C-alpha cells in the first residue's frame, strides 16, 4: 500500500483551493456588495460633498510633486508648454 507524503499531495493541487471555491467567494462578495450599496446609498451620497472637500488637501499635497512645489526660485512661465490659457 503506497502512502502519499504531504509534499507530493500539495504539489499536485497547488494552493489547495479549487476554482469553484473562488467562484463561490466572488459571487458572495458581489451579492453582499450589492445589498450593502443599495441599503446605504443615501448615507454614501450624503457624505460625498464632504469627501470631495476633504480630498482637496490630499490632492494638493500629492499632485504638486510633479512641478517642484512652491517658492523654489524658478523662472515664471518656465514650465509653460503653450497649451491652454
Sign of CA dihedral 14, 19, 21, 23: positive
30: which 3 cell numbers?
458581489
pTM for the full predicted model: 0.41
25 burial via Cβ count (<10 Å: 0-12, 13-18, 19+)? exposed
Query: CA-CA-CA-CA torsion for 38, 44, 49, 50, nearest 10 degrees?
Result: 180
- The predicted structure's pLDDT at residue 80: 55
- The predicted structure's pLDDT at residue 65: 66
pLDDT in tens, 18-70: 999 999 999 999 999 999 999 999 888 888 889 889 898 888 888 876 565 55
Amino acid at each position: 500500500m503506497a502512502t502519499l507524503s504531504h509534499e507530493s499531495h500539495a504539489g499536485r493541487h497547488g494552493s489547495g483551493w479549487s476554482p469553484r471555491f473562488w467562484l463561490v467567494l466572488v459571487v458572495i462578495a458581489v451579492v453582499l456588495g450589492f445589498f450593502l450599496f443599495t441599503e446605504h446609498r443615501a448615507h454614501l451620497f450624503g457624505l460625498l460633498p464632504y469627501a470631495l472637500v476633504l480630498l482637496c488637501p490630499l490632492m494638493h499635497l500629492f499632485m504638486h510633486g510633479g512641478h517642484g512645489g512652491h517658492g523654489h526660485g524658478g523662472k515664471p512661465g518656465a514650465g509653460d508648454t503653450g497649451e491652454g490659457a
